[in-house]
A and B are shown apart, each in its own frame.
Chain A
Amino acid sequence: AQSVTQLDSQVPVFEEAPVELRCNYSSSVSVYLFWYVQYPNQGLQLLLKYLSGSTLVKGINGFEAEFNKSQTSFHLRKPSVHISDTAEYFCAVSDLDGGSQGNLIFGKGTKLSVKP
């Protein structure tokens, strides 16, 4: 069965510092990978996704993620964070040949807290 592990439940960082939010997945087949962001009292919003091709994916708000098949990882990065990036970030996977009919499996989320 597929699973998604977000290794850090909380990540505090100072404004303008770089950040990396880690995500590892387990799947025996090829996958599609997603990062969602949830601002306080809001729903989840798609940040970026990896389907195929270049392993470096760029998303909204200056975020990017790198797919690493050998390490089964899809870490999210931003070179310089802003206060407005404070939110919870969810990694998700959809397998291409699974019993879940392609439905997304979400990680537990990582709360990014950006301090001035």
Chain B
Amino acid sequence: ETGVTQTPRHLVMGMTNKKSLKCEQHLGHNAMYWYKQSAKKPLELMFVYSLEERVENNSVPSRFSPECPNSSHLFLHLHTLQPEDSALYLCASSQEGLQGLYGYTFGSGTRLTVV
């Protein structure tokens, strides 16, 4: 596979559940990002990992917990979510230091519904 792959594509979870979103990139990039895209809201940057270290966390609630075990994989662990957390979660990757030149490569997203 090439590009950025996100699994699952769709996820329905209850507010007391624990689940994880997975992102995998096969581009040799070393920076990865989680974005939240809600209806009628702009893209929200949640987390940035560069060289497997978290470099940015935009005041995201602790019920979202990212993990980056290596430069190819990124996870978003979810627990005790709220209905307002329902959204499309997008993963992206880039080459650290070159994102301005080449931009990001995005996955297709995970559509999360919290019931």
- Bound pair: A and B? yes
Which positions in A face B, CB cutoff 8 Å?
32, 34, 36, 41-46, 49, 51, 90, 92, 94-96, 101-104, 106-109
- The answer to whether A43 touches B103, judged by C-beta atoms less than 8 angstroms apart, is no
B34 within 8 A of A: no
Interface string of B88-115 (1 = CB under 8 A from A): 0010100001111101111111010000
Contact with A along B43-74 (1 / 0, CB 8 A): 10100101000011000000000000000000
Q: Inside 8 A of A51's CB, which chain B residues have their CB?
A: 101
Is there an interface contact between B97 and A104, defined as CB atoms closer than 8 Å?
A: no
The winner among A44, A46, A49 for most chain B CB atoms within 10 A is A44
Tell me if B4 and A107 are in contact (CB < 8 A).
Answer: no
The smallest beta-carbon distance between A110 and chain B, in angstroms, is: 11
A sample of 17 cross-chain residue pairs with beta-carbon separation below 8 angstroms, ordered by A number, consists of: A32-B100, A41-B108, A43-B4, A43-B90, A43-B109, A44-B90, A44-B104, A45-B106, A51-B101, A94-B99, A95-B100, A101-B97, A102-B100, A104-B103, A107-B42, A109-B42, A109-B43
**Shortest beta-carbon distance, A75 to chain B, in Å?**
18
- Give Cα A111 to B108, complex, Å: 18
* CB neighbours of A32 from chain B (8 A): 100-101
- Tell me which residues across on chain A come within 8 A of B108, comparing CB atoms: 41-43
Out of B43, B90, B99, B106, which one reaches A103, CB within 8 Å?
Answer: B99
Nearest-CB residue, chain B, relative to A88: B37
Within 8 Å by CB of B103, from A34, A95, A96, A109, lies A34
3 smallest beta-carbon distances between A and B, as pairs = A43-B106, A94-B100, A102-B100
Q: Mark B1-24, 1 if CB is under 8 A from A, else 0.
A: 000101000000000000000000
CB distance from B25 to the nearest CB of A (A): 12
**B106 in contact with A92 (CB, 8 Å):** no
User: Which B residues are CB-close (under 8 A) to A41?
Assistant: 108-109, 111
